[in-house]
Amino acid sequence: MSATTHAHDHSHDHDHGPPKGLMRWVTTTNHKDIGTLYLLFALVMLFVGGGMALVIRAELFEPGIQFVNPDFFNQMTTIHALIMVFGMIMPAFAGFANWMIPMMIGSPDMALPRLNNWSFWLLPFAGTMLLATIFMPGGGPAAGWTLYPPLSLQGGNSFPFTIFSIHLLGVSSIMASINIIVTIMNMRAPGMTLMKMPLFVWTWLITAYLLIGAMPVLAGGVTMLLTDQFFGTSFFLAAGGGDPVLFQHIFWFFGHPEVYIIILPAFGIISQIIPTFSRKPLFGYDSMVYATASIGFLSYIVWAHHMFTVGMPLAGEMFFMLSTMLIAIPTGVKIFNWLSTMWQGSLTFETPMLFAVGFLFMFSIGGFTGLMMAVAPVDFQYHDTYFIVAHFHYVLVPGALFAALGGAYYWLPKWTGHMYDETLGKWHFWLSTIFVNLLFFPQHFLGLAGMPRRIPDYATQFADWNMWSSIGGFGFGLSQLLFVWVVIKCARGGARATDKVWDQPNGLEWTVPSPAPYHTFERAPEVR
């Protein structure tokens, strides 16, 4: 990371600027510094987790066992997921929250700056501990990121390290959430009422509540795993009267809100980008807020749709099926509001808008396959096949990740004071879009044809689509190097960005100079 921090040192050279040197980043309590750290950490983890994905795709390029043994393959699927969820996408959105929320609500900083520093600095340690398990005797965790017992309890030395790193990642995100809620509730500029807040702030407020509700439940669940293994409890051990299915309920009670913890900030970013490039205010602001809140509530009562095949009374299957389908209503409200915002707008398609429109289209594909799997009787066919892999990657990659990339392009000029290279940005978008579809779309076919997930080998009839999928995977991974280059180039120089950056952006962040000074809104702005 130190190579990239130098690039940033240059862009903050002015009066009352930050102290120099490495210790600035270790001791910083500035929301912009911490936001930058979060974003850089997420970028590094994108490539770490992405590298593991490429190990998986290389192995699946052809049938048979080529490069890695099955146990290492299982470690890759497990750690790839844990890193991407807890180490990449959540820190990325926490980075956006740190950078943008204080500027959007006219606050000088986060409410709890020192806690903020701590929340970030737990992450590198937790991430290192998780990654270090790969080099332990017996290798890293290999039971899938869901850590289902009894399999996860049969792991080697990596098991307690995995659990502790999940604890640390959880503590980090809970502290960040507390900070975000306190900031939003107490630090708004006078006149910035709740219903005037930009939608990104709203979605993060609800996300933070979801995190506080869900993350501790996961912490409890993995603690039970830990005591089952080392302290003689029997929460999930059948021999001692426990029940492994109980873990699945606890895990998914966390796991489903987690899905929306990942996607709601993405919704927020999209809701900032689309109005700017449509040159119209967001259509249906109030309904967007209520839709977000409804999604947040519903996320707590649908968890067992991940467990249709585990065994449930008919009434249970019906309840979880119908409540899951209900989520399509507020999500549909959002999609149609975005479309209505674009309707008759004077649209231009700069890179952030391209990513937003790509998000809209491809996230909807993932949403529809989600709706298909909500139907309990057909879920029995899709369960644990590549169809579910295609589904959740569509909502996470061209969904959440595209929103994060779009947000990065959207605010980069504000962060660095320079315009990014528009041509390269467009190349990045189109290459990513083509390859991400090549990567994940064929997986729908593979899943419907019955290819099981998390297996390093497959029957030969799946060979062609797997080959295409792997080509897409490598193409997508390499395309992201272009993004790194765009960011480095933009941090180093380029055309000067104006304060407004875009034609008609809305929000307080566009009233401060570009690059945003180290301290903003020390005197609260006037909000009408």
Partner 1 sequence: MAGGDDIRRSNRRLTLRLAAAAVAMFGFGYLLVPFYYLMCEVIGIGGRTADAVAAAPLRVDAGRTVTVELTGSVNQDAPWEFHPKDVKLQVQPGRLYTATFVARNLSDQPLTGQAIPSVAPGTSARYLKKTDCFCFRSQAFAPAETRELTVQFYLDPALPRHVDRLTLSYTLFLQPAVQG
Tell me, yes or no, if 80 is annotated catalytic.
yes
Of the residues 145, 411, 415, 465, which is catalytic?
Answer: 145
Residue 164 Cβ vs partner 1, minimum distance, rounded to whole Å: 15
Tell me, yes or no, if 260 is annotated catalytic.
yes
DSSP secondary-structure letter at 518? S
Q: Which is nearer to partner 1, 171 or 484 (CB)?
A: 171
DSSP string, 453-513: SS-S---GGGHHHHHHHHHHHHHHHHHHHHHHHHHHHHHH--SBPPSS-SSS--SGGGGS-
Tell me, yes or no, if 109 is annotated catalytic.
yes
Of the residues 12, 188, 306, 418, which is catalytic?
Answer: 306
Q: Which is nearer to partner 1, 174 or 360 (CB)?
A: 174
AA identity, residue 432: S
CB count, 10 Å around CB of 525? 17
Tell me, yes or no, if 152 is annotated catalytic.
no
Three-state SS across 191-221? CCCHHHCCHHHHHHHHHHHHHHHHHHHHHHH
| Angle (deg, nearest 10), helices 90-105 and 244-278 | 50
Residue 455 Cβ vs partner 1, minimum distance, rounded to whole Å: 21
Q: Which is nearer to partner 1, 45 or 219 (CB)?
A: 219
> Please, is 56 exposed, middle or buried when counting C-beta atoms within 10 Å of its C-beta (0-12, 13-18, 19+)?
middle
**CA dist 125 → 268, 299, 328 (Å):** 29, 30, 38
Of the residues 107, 162, 172, 292, which is catalytic?
Answer: 172
Closest CA to 122 of 75, 86, 77: 86
Of the residues 109, 228, 317, 379, which is catalytic?
Answer: 109
Cis previous bond, 275, omega within 30? no
DSSP secondary-structure letter at 312? -
* Measured distance CA(244)–CA(149) in Å, rounded: 6
Sign of CA dihedral 425, 429, 430, 432: positive
Residue 33 Cβ vs partner 1, minimum distance, rounded to whole Å: 20
Of the residues 32, 57, 80, 393, which is catalytic?
Answer: 80
Tell me, yes or no, if 334 is annotated catalytic.
yes
Residue 347 Cβ vs partner 1, minimum distance, rounded to whole Å: 41
Q: Which is nearer to partner 1, 248 or 470 (CB)?
A: 248
Residue 110 Cβ vs partner 1, minimum distance, rounded to whole Å: 10
Beta bridge partners of 418: 496
> Please, is 469 exposed, middle or buried when counting C-beta atoms within 10 Å of its C-beta (0-12, 13-18, 19+)?
buried
* Measured distance CA(518)–CA(164) in Å, rounded: 35
Of the residues 258, 350, 379, 509, which is catalytic?
Answer: 258
Of the residues 249, 279, 426, 453, which is catalytic?
Answer: 453
**Binding stretches for partner 1 (CB under 8 A):** 111-112, 115, 174, 177-178, 181-182, 185-187, 212-221, 224, 232, 235, 238-241, 243, 245-246, 249-250, 253, 311-313, 316
Residue 159 Cβ vs partner 1, minimum distance, rounded to whole Å: 16
Tell me, yes or no, if 145 is annotated catalytic.
yes
Q: Which is nearer to partner 1, 464 or 522 (CB)?
A: 522
Tell me, yes or no, if 258 is annotated catalytic.
yes
Residue 219 Cβ vs partner 1, minimum distance, rounded to whole Å: 6
Q: Which is nearer to partner 1, 19 or 241 (CB)?
A: 241
Q: Which is nearer to partner 1, 274 or 321 (CB)?
A: 321
> Which residues have a catalytic role annotated?
80, 109, 145, 172-173, 256, 258, 260, 271, 305-306, 331, 334, 453
